[in-house]
């Protein structure tokens, strides 16, 4: 198969998923609302003292982002699994890893990008200074794709299971921990006024690693789940 037809397949699959999301526009709001809601719970739970909120803010926002991403992960493959289109990907003449990449990209555009757009609001809610909010945006921009990429592996492993959703968190959350540590720390450090290039390099490294390895793991996992 030529690379031309591969590019066309990638583009069409991406377009297909975006189209399907647009036809269920109302559902796109759910992870977003969850993100805002969970973040808002913290001042209610631990008190609204500004210094405290500013100190926990970066960690809280990032944990909320993780949970929101987790919530939306099932959507990557569940619907395709149920109507039989997922097995058609495995029977395609194109490499499954490329098709997976198209789906993960679509998932990120639909669920990850909106988190980014709403995060400055959350930064303000928790009293983060301007520099920190900028860095928060950068870490989310680099990090949410990693959440989608790694999450896709977990979803692929559990898509065929009846109670897949429960196991998914156990599988995926430990893998999210390094990203959480580097990202929250980056925002913290930025809030204190120090440079964060080291943190951002580490997060970028995670992104590159996830981009290069996770599609293959996801493809292998899909093959196992559908056999």
Residues near another protein, by CB under 8 A: 1, 5, 8-9, 12-13, 16, 19-20, 23-24, 79-80, 82-85, 87-95, 99, 153, 157-158, 160-161, 163-164, 167, 170-171, 173-175, 177-178, 181-182, 185, 206, 209, 213, 217, 220-221, 223-227
CA 2 to chain centre: 31
Nearer to another protein, 35 or 186 (CB): 186
Judged by CB, which is closer to another protein: 16, or 36?
16
| Cα radius of gyration rounded to whole Å, the chain | 18
Helices (H), the chain: 3-22, 25-46, 50-73, 78-83, 85-90, 96-107, 113-125, 130-158, 164-191, 197-225
Per the CB < 8 A criterion, the answer to whether 53 and 127 are in contact is yes
Nearer to another protein, 94 or 120 (CB): 94
Single out the residue of 128, 127, 143, 104 nearest to residue 10, CA to CA: 104
Q: Rounded to the nearest whole angstrom, what is the least distance from the CB of residue 40 to another protein in the complex?
A: 25
CB nearer to another protein: pick between 71 and 226: 226
Rounded least distance, CB 26 to another protein, Å: 13
Q: How far is the CB of 188 from another protein (least distance, A)?
A: 8
Q: Supply the minimum distance, in Å, between the C-beta of residue 102 and another protein.
A: 11
Q: What is the C-alpha to C-alpha distance for residues 133 and 141, in angstroms, rounded to an integer?
A: 12
Spatial CA neighbour of 200 closest among 123, 132, 139: 139
Q: How far is the CB of 143 from another protein (least distance, A)?
A: 13
Angle at 81 between CA 97 and CA 13, to 5 degrees: 45
Minimum CB–partner distance for residue 169 and another protein (Å): 10
What is the rounded distance in angstroms from the CA atom of residue 198 to the CA atom of residue 195?
Answer: 8
Closer by beta carbon to another protein, 44 or else 197? 197
CB nearer to another protein: pick between 33 and 223:
223
């Amino acid at each position: 198969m030529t690379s031309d037809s591969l590019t066309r397949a990638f583009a069409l699959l991406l377009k297909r998923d975006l189209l399907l999301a647009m036809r269920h526009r109302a559902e796109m709001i759910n992870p977003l609302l969850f993100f805002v809601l969970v973040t808002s719970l913290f001042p209610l739970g631990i008190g609204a003292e500004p210094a405290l909120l500013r100190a926990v803010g970066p960690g809280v926002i990032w944990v909320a982002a993780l949970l929101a991403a987790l919530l939306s992960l099932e959507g990557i493959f569940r619907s395709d699994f149920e109507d039989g289109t997922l097995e058609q990907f495995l029977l395609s003449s194109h490499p499954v890893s490329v098709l997976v990449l198209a789906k993960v990209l679509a998932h990120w555009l639909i669920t990850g990008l909106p988190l980014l757009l709403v995060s400055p609001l959350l930064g303000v809610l928790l009293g983060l200074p301007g520099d920190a909010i900028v860095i928060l945006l950068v870490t989310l921009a680099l990090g949410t794709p990693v959440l989608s990429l790694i999450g896709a592996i977990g979803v692929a492993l559990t898509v065929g299971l009846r109670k897949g959703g429960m196991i998914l968190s156990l599988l995926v959350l430990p893998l999210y921990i390094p990203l959480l540590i580097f990202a929250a720390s980056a925002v913290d450090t930025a809030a204190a006024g120090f440079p964060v290039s080291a943190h951002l390099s580490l997060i970028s490294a995670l992104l590159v690693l996830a981009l290069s390895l996770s599609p293959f793991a996801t493809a292998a996992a899909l093959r196992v789940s559908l056999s």
